[in-house]
């Protein structure tokens, strides 16, 4: 069975090298919708694959790190990157360009790392992240599956190569969230949410 939780964020970007002129040459924004899909053949003590309420903590914070932020590609022009960081408190820097495709890969990667370190407490069994869908507009979306995320041909994603601005980190409920993720610390689910 597959379950799905929807998140939303507003984000600005520029996508170098794409065919769409407006997209590659002007900073612009989208109201993103992100679908996070989990799967399991088992149900927990509440007869759920995974309680939606549990997704409204660290998973939500990671997805919403992009909210009201500009997303920068570390391969972009260094002057552009420096200027954007100077004029925007909230930014995220990625090792890949912020296309819908790469957003879906990066968000899958972050949630997958977190989930791999999470100890569940309510009888959840064999729950796996199935895919992440990123809707950039009402008409266009990208869906990343596990094989896309760990596919080096699409660009290597590593936690050490992702950077969140101080303002983003300060907006996490647990301001140490990303550091803990990088250190491989265990996350224990609360008994109640
Ligand atoms: N495969 C992808 N194609 C495009 C992406 C992308 O991330 N992946 N991104 C863009 C631009 O960011 C652009 O702003 C969105 O393009 P488009 O879908 O053409 O947007 P419109 O609102 O103009 O689309 P309508 O179909 O007219 O609603 C471009 N391509």
Residue 116 lies in a domain: yes
Distance (Å, whole) CA 173 – CA 69: 17
Using a pLDDT cut of 70, give the percent of the chain over it.
100
Beta bridge partners of 129: 38
26 lines ligand 1 (CB under 6 A): no
How many structural domains are present in the chain?
1
pLDDT at residue 188 in the model = 97
Average pLDDT over residues 24-51: 98
Quick: pLDDT tens for 55-110: 999 999 999 999 999 999 999 999 999 999 999 999 999 999 999 999 999 999 99
Residue 52 lies in a domain: yes
Q: Is the ipTM of this complex over 0.85?
A: yes
Residue 185 annotated in active site: no
Question: Positive or negative, the Cα torsion across 47, 59, 27, 73?
Answer: negative
Structural domain of residue 113, as residue ranges? 2-188
Average pLDDT over residues 10-33: 98
Listed in sequence order, the residues at least 6 apart from 40 whose beta carbon sits closer than 8 Å to its beta carbon are 1, 49, 50, 124, 125, 126, 127, 128
pLDDT at residue 103 in the model = 98
Average pLDDT over residues 171-192: 97
User: How far does the chain reach from its first CA to its final CA, in angstroms?
Assistant: 23
pTM here is 0.97
pLDDT at residue 90 in the model = 98
Burial class (CB in 10 A: 0-12, 13-18, 19+), 173: exposed
Which of 19, 20, 71 for mutating ligand 1's site (highest number of atoms within 8 Å of CB)?
A: 20
Residue 193 lies in a domain: no
Average pLDDT over residues 167-188: 98
pLDDT at residue 137 in the model = 97
pLDDT at residue 183 in the model = 98
pLDDT at residue 193 in the model = 96
pLDDT at residue 153 in the model = 97
Distance (Å, whole) CA 63 – CA 151: 21
Q: How far does the centroid of ligand 1 lie from the alpha carbon of residue 143, in Å?
A: 15
What CATH number should be reported for the domain holding residue 165?
3.30.479.10
């Amino acid at each position: 069975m597959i379950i799905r939780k929807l998140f939303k964020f507003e984000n600005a970007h520029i996508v170098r090298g794409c065919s769409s002129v407006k997209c590659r040459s002007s900073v612009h924004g989208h109201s993103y919708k992100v679908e996070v899909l989990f799967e399991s053949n088992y149900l927990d003590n509440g007869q759920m694959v995974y309680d939606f309420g549990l997704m409204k903590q660290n998973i939500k914070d990671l997805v919403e790190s992009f909210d009201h932020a500009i997303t920068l590609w570390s391969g972009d022009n260094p002057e552009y990157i420096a200027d954007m960081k100077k004029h925007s408190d909230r930014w995220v820097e990625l090792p890949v360009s912020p296309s819908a495709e790469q957003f879906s890969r990066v968000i899958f990667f972050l949630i997958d790392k977190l989930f791999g370190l999470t100890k569940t407490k309510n009888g959840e069994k064999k729950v796996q992240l199935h895919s992440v869908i990123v809707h950039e507009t009402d008409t266009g979306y990208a869906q990343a599956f596990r094989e896309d995320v760990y596919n080096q041909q699409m660009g290597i994603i590593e936690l050490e190569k992702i950077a969140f601005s101080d303002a983003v980190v300060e907006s996490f409920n647990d301001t140490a969230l990303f550091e803990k993720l990088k250190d491989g610390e265990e996350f224990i689910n609360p008994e109640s949410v």
